[in-house]
Chains A and B, each alone.
Chain A
Amino acid sequence: MIEVHLYGRLRRLAAQSGVWRPSIAWVDLQEGTVAQVMEALGVGPEEVSNIFINGRYDPAAPDQTVRSGDRIGLFPPDMRMLYV
């Protein structure tokens, strides 16, 4: 399972979608790219700005491989603290 922490409008994809507790979606995947995880959640690339893998921001995140037990953090464009 991949643990995906969701923020802002992306919280809607988690069972717990309020701001008061972590909004986490679990993706049943042994190994795959971040892009595959996002696809499984139904999140398009345009819906995401910052992506963290295990607490590390990675500008090339969509192509990176993650494995069961990894944690991903996804932030929407209106929380964008990036200019790319």
Chain B
Amino acid sequence: MSRLLRVNMADLKAAFEEVPEPYRLWGGRGFTSMVTSREVPPNCHPLGPNNKLVIAPGIVSGTAAPTSGRTSFGGKSPLTGTIKETNVGGLSSQKIARLGIKGIIVEGHPKEAGQFWLLKINKDGAEFLPATDLVGKGMYEVCRTLWERHGKGVAVIGIGPAGEYRLTNAGICVNDPENSAGRYAGRGGMGAVMGSKGLKAIVVDDTGGPGVEIADQTRFRAAIKPLTDASLKHDIVKKGGALNTYGTNVLANIMNEAGGYPTRNFSGGRFELTGQISGEAVAEIVKKRGGVGTTGHPCHPGCIIQCSNIYPYPDGKFHTSVLEYESVWALGANCGIGNLDDIADLIWACNDVGLDTIEAGATIAVAMEGGLLKFGDAEGAKKLLNEDVRGGTPLGRIIGCGAETTGRAFGVVRVPTVKGQAMPAYEPRAVKGIGVTYATSTMGADHTSGYTIAPEILSVGGKADPFNPQKAELSRSFQAATAFIDTSGYCLFDAFAVLDIPEGLAGMVESCAAVLGTKWTVDDIGRLGIEVLKVERAFNAAAGFTKAHDRLPEFMKYEPLPPHNTVFDVTDEDLDKVHAY
């Protein structure tokens, strides 16, 4: 019987309890959003004692289901003020699930400010250990130290100095199979919430754990086969396919050709140096330099897509993992930086200091626009992260709080945020549907919450003209389906396969139903997804958000974006239709 682990930082108690009925059929984002909705006052201060950090593996995480190792982190976001769910691969999801734990709820405030603790979870229970000697340490060192102390192979969940400082762009790091600090539940500043709880890290050891309880084994095994088959044969996700060969950064050249690759703080849609920072370039460097460098790297055991990579120094030694599309864009093209070694340094710095790469890149670009440094100044950008943010200087604290805070501090108008969160690597003026998602997502600007790029650019899950502004229905159906996938524990990239191969989609739902013992079918995806969205929207409404917040920044309506010279012309009425259900 899976349990819930409730962790109170005020009296340092961690106790297991039965999973309350309202949470029983949820995992991942569904679980974190249901708990946040019921237990967190919408008007609480995100860094105060009444916010909670909710951690949950997906419904099928820890089972034999392929590519299903996502861990969701939820609560109220200090970056956006909305409800937040941000999920990540790495080692944590499967291990938490295999200990029979459905979710972890971290609540309360430590009695002594500035004290940091380590929570160790294994088959015998959970205990607190002092983390005094880890304070101020970057995540690469934290991961190394915790494997030395608690055994090779344990999952590490932790925060860097940015989280300790409670900066609103602090992410939560999860280690990968090589114990690199390369995976981040980055978005929305949830690392600051973890920091506010005085929790530096969590170690999860699933040795001897009971495993995931599956209500109907036969049905489960029958369900995952078509899903696995779909992933093995779909062109995007199969072995030797685009994601496996080039990583997510295969998209750089494609979005650049489409004129939707935001450049120099969203002032253009094509970057002249895209080729040399593209997935093709990463693959070529990895091959040439050899050593530990690799493409087709899995971020967690059991992934059959393997879109990650390990980027080596010229001598073949480890430099950074992972150079993925959003990170390379944010700290590359968006800052006018066109050298992969520089970008790898910047990604490493974000991973170590504990920042979300998307928000960090957007922030530096806004600072560049504000005159703090010049576009293309890689050394200046590195100094900002490695010295200012890491050291907690006043400037570092501004930069570490994200694009909107930095835009205010430097008097910048062109600040590409929605609800305080920076946009990722798809330009809404050239791809209208993703703009509709950015505007209306419950999470602030977020591509993963309704990836309409699939039909708009990639012809996956149907075809849609990126320049057509009528995208309310498309965005709604993607937002609902995504809320379900984020709940299941499956990686969003499984969706590429299942959107086009119906047996795969059925297998995805069926496998969740077999674990939980429900009768769900494909027809329930939309209903379950909408249920999650409704709960999230209700939280946001109670926190003061209205349809006036479901809008893109004004400059996108009056500044035409080259090369297409289009503006964002989706009407407010159309944006308001997205959640009219």
Q: Please give the residue numbers on chain A whose beta carbons come within 8 Å of chain B beta carbons, in ascending order.
A: 5, 7-8, 19-23, 49-50, 52, 55-57, 59, 73, 75, 77-84
Contacts and interface: CB of A to CB of B under 8 A. Distances in A.
B275 A21 contact: yes
B500 A83 contact: yes
A75 B459 CA distance: 14
A83 B235 contact: yes
A23 B258 CA distance: 16
Interface string B255-267: 0011100000000
Contacts of A82: 235, 458-460
Interface stretch (B67-75, B203-211, B244-252, B545-553): B244-252
Given A56-B258, A80-B235, 9 more contacts: A19-B276, A20-B281, A49-B235, A55-B257, A55-B270, A55-B564, A78-B242, A81-B242, A82-B235
The interface centre, meaning the residue of B234, B280, B500, B564 with most chain A CB atoms within 10 A of its CB, is B280
Interface in B386-408: none
B236 interface: yes
B467 interface: yes
Contacts of A75: 253-254, 257
Nearest to A73: B257
B256 to A, nearest CB: 9
Question: Which 9 A-B pairs rank lowest in CB-CB distance, beginning with the nearest?
Answer: A55-B259, A73-B257, A81-B458, A83-B500, A80-B235, A19-B280, A82-B459, A19-B281, A52-B257
Counting chain B CB atoms within 10 Å of each CB, the highest count among A22, A23, A59 belongs to A22
Contacts of A19: 275-276, 278, 280-281, 284
Contacts, number: 78
A7 B258 contact: no
A84 to B, nearest CB: 6
A56 B284 CA distance: 27
Given A20-B276, A78-B241, A56 B281 contact: no
Given A7-B280, A19-B284, A80 B236 contact: yes
Given A7-B280, A20-B276, A59-B459, A81 B257 contact: no
Contacts of B467: 56
B463 interface: yes
A79 B242 contact: yes
A19 B250 CA distance: 12
A81 B280 contact: no
Interface string B265-290: 00001100001101011001000000
A73 B430 CA distance: 16
B151 interface: no
15 contacts: A19-B276, A19-B278, A19-B284, A23-B275, A49-B235, A55-B257, A55-B259, A55-B270, A55-B563, A56-B466, A75-B253, A75-B254, A79-B242, A80-B236, A80-B242
